[in-house]
Amino acid sequence: MANEVSASEALSGEQVGVNLGKRSGYRWTILVMLSLMALITFIDRTNISIAAPRIMKEFSFTKTQMGLVFAVFAWAYSLAQIPGGWLGDTFGPRKVLTIVVLFWSLMTMATAHALGFASMLAIRFIFGLGEAACFPAATRAMQFWYPKSERGLVNGVTHSCGQFATTLVPLLGVAIMTAWGWRAIFHLSGIVGITWAIAWYFMYRDRPDDHKRVNAAELAYIQDRANGTKAEVKKKVAIPWGLILRSPNVWFVSLAYCGYIYGAYFFWYWMPTFMMERQHISLKNMGFLAPLPLFAGAIGVLSGGVITDFVYKTSGNLKWSRRVVCIGAMAGAALTMIPVALLSKPVPVVLCMIACNFFISLSTAPSWAVSMDIAGGFSGSVSSVMNMVGQASGSLSAILFGALTQRGMWLAPFYITSGVMLGSGLLWAFAINPERVVTDKKA
């Protein structure tokens, strides 16, 4: 192949630039597309939080029932993570992401046509199945398009766009709902997703050396810095599920990820209702205040990716470049979650939510980077296990918050969330080793 250059021809990234000319940089176009996918993903899964008060009123749902509507997405999303990771590793991100984004976009639109509690549950469950493969397949795409020294950044950018989407949801959702009703939110979201899927199919290739926009210099840089990426891409082997599922390291990372997801589900789904019912903030004001903690989360995700890459490049220590960010993130989040429950004035509460969501979001990029670091070429499958466990905890968070607050117990959910975050921090401090890959039987 004309594009193909052996990694051995490049002694370093800098020499690649000298010997082969300027790198094309098409991998950053792929990053833009993956970031847009994350944006669409989070808009589609969280726009129901803005519509929730109207949905509960129209269908006479209780908070517990609404919590189940939130949770059923997480159940399906969690259950389908491993199949989604297998699809990404087996058939490649180009086909898989095209199909699943088309599918879940249609299911997003179907949400607007629910007839009651049972149909709403069914639609959101099928929608969750559709979204399950998105991030495992995207992680697979990243592994073969970016070297280790850029993985924190690309995960940070991608997932921060997902968080930024939750910032847009209150602003756009309230405006759309006020103008055309809550159903229009889901129709418009679905159209955007369908457009992305078509563009992705034509713009992406599973291997950078198959893309005519990737020149020799960029290809050699990716392959050299990724330490064997070329060989891993070229050679298809069976996914070692036995090693993955028996690896304590994989399960420690997965349980630690619960600290982020368990807390994030409050911000993604219950925060608007909490602000309106507990803090007595109007729908209009909620539309302006709710984006603040969510925007802080987007900044936190990006910051976590930048910091973990900076520490890795500076120290050369992969293990602590991931762990130190996540330990600090979970400690800060656990401390700032408690005042959210105790304070009664809206401004201090919003400030604490800003701090809390920023802290937990710092852990996102390092977590996904670790799922790539330890994957041994099977990042779609390893990350699917991590996301499966995390999303299962998110479903529990959604149900408990609804059930406890329906009984007037507004403090308990925040104490529980703080405890989960603290446990996550301890796992990062004492149990997780980002340098031990799943193909190492001691992992």
In tens, the pLDDT along 256-279 reads 999 999 999 999 888 888 888 888
Residue 232: per-residue pLDDT = 44
Query: Shortest CA distance to 381 belongs to which of 260, 258, 261, 247?
Result: 247
Global pTM value: 0.73
User: At 257, which CATH number?
Assistant: 1.20.1250.20
Whether residue 133 lies inside any domain: the answer is: yes
Residues of the chain with pLDDT under 70: 1-21, 224-237, 283, 441-443
Whether residue 420 lies inside any domain: the answer is: yes
Residue 238: per-residue pLDDT = 78
Whether residue 12 lies inside any domain: the answer is: no
DSSP string for residues in 24-57: --HHHHHHHHHHHHHHHHHHHHHHHHHHHHHHHH
Domain of residue 362, residue span: 19-225+239-430
Residue 443: per-residue pLDDT = 52
How far CA 306 is from CA of 154, 222, 311, in Å, comes to 9, 19, 9
Residue listed under structure tokens 């936190």:
300
Whether residue 329 lies inside any domain: the answer is: yes
Query: Shortest CA distance to 364 belongs to which of 426, 314, 302, 438?
Result: 302
Query: Shortest CA distance to 257 belongs to which of 304, 296, 295, 303?
Result: 304
Residue 230: per-residue pLDDT = 45
Domain count, the chain: 1
Whether residue 440 lies inside any domain: the answer is: no
Query: Shortest CA distance to 396 belongs to which of 378, 379, 413, 381?
Result: 413
Whether residue 317 lies inside any domain: the answer is: yes
| 346-362 vs 291-315: helix crossing angle, rounded to 10 | 30
Whether residue 14 lies inside any domain: the answer is: no
Burial 123-137 (b: 16+ CB within 10 A, else e): bbbbbbbbbbbbbbb
CA-CA-CA-CA dihedral for 150, 154, 156, 157, to nearest 10: 140
Whether residue 4 lies inside any domain: the answer is: no
